[in-house]
Amino acid sequence: MFSEQAAQRAHTLLSPPSANNATFARVPVATYTNSSQPFRLGERSFSRQYAHIYATRLIQMRPFLENRAQQHWGSGVGVKKLCELQPEEKCCVVGTLFKAMPLQPSILREVSEEIIPPVSAFQHNLLPQPPRSKYIHPDDELVLEDELQRIKLKGTIDVSKLVTGTVLAVFGSVRDDGKFLVEDYCFADLAPQKPAPPLDTDRFVLLVSGLGLGGGGGESLLGTQLLVDVVTGQLGDEGEQCSAAHVSRVILAGNLLSHSTQSRDSINKAKYLTKKTQAASVEAVKMLDEILLQLSASVPVDVMPGEFDPTNYTLPQQPLHPCMFPLATAYSTLQLVTNPYQATIDGVRFLGTSGQNVSDIFRYSSMEDHLEILEWTLRVRHISPTAPDTLGCYPFYKTDPFIFPECPHVYFCGNTPSFGSKIIRGPEDQTVLLVTVPDFSATQTACLVNLRSLACQPISFSGFGAEDDDLGGLGLGP
């Protein structure tokens, strides 16, 4: 681990100055390939409907699900389309889920009830609903849709956990009431994985997300500076600096700017009031440029955009424009990449998002743990099944790029409330390290992934505040 390796060298800094000070060379980039090409959009046209993305999703996932169905329920199980269903006949159906949620915010409902106020005094949808953390409700219903028909599901299927857009295979039979009674269901599970070549030295990749610049929090600024200093080898004793030299890459996973830089004043206020004011994001981007300059002068950096960053809203988010970083783009070590991001670093396949997919599923499912949701998306073999239903997405029609073509070795998502990491195994001996990268502006914690051992260690920073419990700030308190 990073700490142990760092502690191996003798402490030299609490001593008078010595003539020679060690300088360490950063580990060179052995192999790096950026495989985010499916997430780059060229010319975009929004004239298409979103039905095409569901159609292509089903077409692409069907073969995987039929394989899994045969593995689970025997090779003799009949996989039928909904139009071919016979009553009381046990069979397997592959389709896309739709969850009908009464609490799901619907703009049509909001608008229609405002214009024509309902007569009944007990109407509860008069006002636009305040944002909730979860929109699930015991009355939610699941509907399975395939290419031609849809059918309601009932039975042993966890309605609250599943979300719209998941493609799955259900085993059961259709009943007299026209609903499908589910006895069992399965997902596409993990995709095939190529084994990673073994490494001989420890190499680390630092994952950080949610820097939240421009948010006005002074504490997090010191933390950010400490982070940069550790990575660039300024902070720490020789042992730590030597370990830091083994950090071969830094990935900034979104939300580099704080939510408060997205001030909506210019939309709401009158023009004469906002005419001369500068957008809050301008200062924040300047700060970000300086931080990126410090980092890219010392280590290759990949910058992914997030929910609050100045790029497009729909997934896949396109890279930030280099003109925003005049100082940092002078270095070729800076790479501006898409969200989601996929790359092979020193033979280890990384795939990750800035967290919008996981937080959207969190809102519409009963799953509480972000790490659990991350694992679930891997098992469903789709990065963000709720797009385009509740998460903005580009209207793809040829392919759905969010389906996992192959299984990554490290799968991460940013901007989660807390750090989490887990190693999971797949049915074909795939091994994946799942990492939920916490929001740095709130937790001052980043993640160090060791590429050789596929382990992840959180690294957190703190200063000292006015209160006496420094230990509490460090998390060392009782």
Partner 1 sequence: MADQLYLENIDEFVTDQNKIVTYKWLSYTLGVHVNQAKQMLYDYVERKRKENSGAQLHVTYLVSGSLIQNGHSCHKVAVVREGKLEAVKSKLAVTASIHVYSIQKAMLKDSGPLFNTDYDILKSNLQNCSKFSAIQCAAAVPRAPAESSSSSKKFEQSHLHMSSETQANNELTTNGHGPPASKQVSQQPKGIMGMFASKAAAKTQETNKETKTEAKEVTNASAAGNKAPGKGNMMSNFFGKAAMNKFKVNLDSEQAVKEEKIVEQPTVSVTEPKLATPAGLKKSSKKAEPVKVLQKEKKRGKRVALSDDETKETENMRKKRRRIKLPESDSSEDEVFPDSPGAYEAESPSPPPPPSPPLEPVPKTEPEPPSVKSSSGENKRKRKRVLKSKTYLDGEGCIVTEKVYESESCTDSEEELNMKTSSVHRPPAMTVKKEPREERKGPKKGTAALGKANRQVSITGFFQRK
Q: Which of residues 222-261 bind partner 1 (CB under 8 A)?
A: 222, 225-226, 229-230, 232-241, 243-245
Question: Cβ of residue 243: shortest distance to partner 1, in angstroms?
Answer: 8
Query: How far is Cα 69 from Cα 63, in angstroms, rounded to an integer?
Result: 10
Q: Which is nearer to partner 1, 191 or 279 (CB)?
A: 279
* 28 touching partner 1, by CB under 8 A: yes
**319-338: contacts with partner 1 (CB under 8 A):** 321-323, 327, 329-333
Task: Choose, by CB under 8 A, the member of 3, 31, 49, 112 that binds partner 1.
Answer: 3
165 SS3 class:
coil
* 298 touching partner 1, by CB under 8 A: yes
**204-223: contacts with partner 1 (CB under 8 A):** 218-219, 221-222
Contact by Cβ (8 Å): 210, 438: yes
Span near partner 1 by CB under 8 A; candidates 54-62, 70-78, 271-279, 361-369: 271-279
The residues, any chain, with a CB within 8 Å of residue 474's CB and separated by 6 or more, are: 460, 462
The H or E element that residue 285 is part of is: helix 280-296
**93-122: contacts with partner 1 (CB under 8 A):** none
Q: Which amino acid is at 369?
A: D
Question: Cβ of residue 269: shortest distance to partner 1, in angstroms?
Answer: 14
Q: Which is nearer to partner 1, 155 or 310 (CB)?
A: 310
Contact by Cβ (8 Å): 220, 177: no
Span near partner 1 by CB under 8 A; candidates 83-91, 135-143, 146-154, 454-462: 454-462
Cis? peptide before 427, omega within 30° of 0: no
Contact by Cβ (8 Å): 380, 400: no
Question: Cβ of residue 430: shortest distance to partner 1, in angstroms?
Answer: 22
Give the residue among 455, 460, 417 at the shortest CA–CA distance from 436: 417
**394-423: contacts with partner 1 (CB under 8 A):** 421
Could you tell me the two tokens for 324? 């925003």
Q: Which is nearer to partner 1, 46 or 122 (CB)?
A: 46
Query: How far is Cα 445 from Cα 456, in angstroms, rounded to an integer?
Result: 12
* 10 touching partner 1, by CB under 8 A: no
Could you tell me the two tokens for 202? 């420890």
Q: Which is nearer to partner 1, 105 or 473 (CB)?
A: 473
Contact by Cβ (8 Å): 344, 407: no
* 458 touching partner 1, by CB under 8 A: yes
Q: Which amino acid is at 268?
A: N
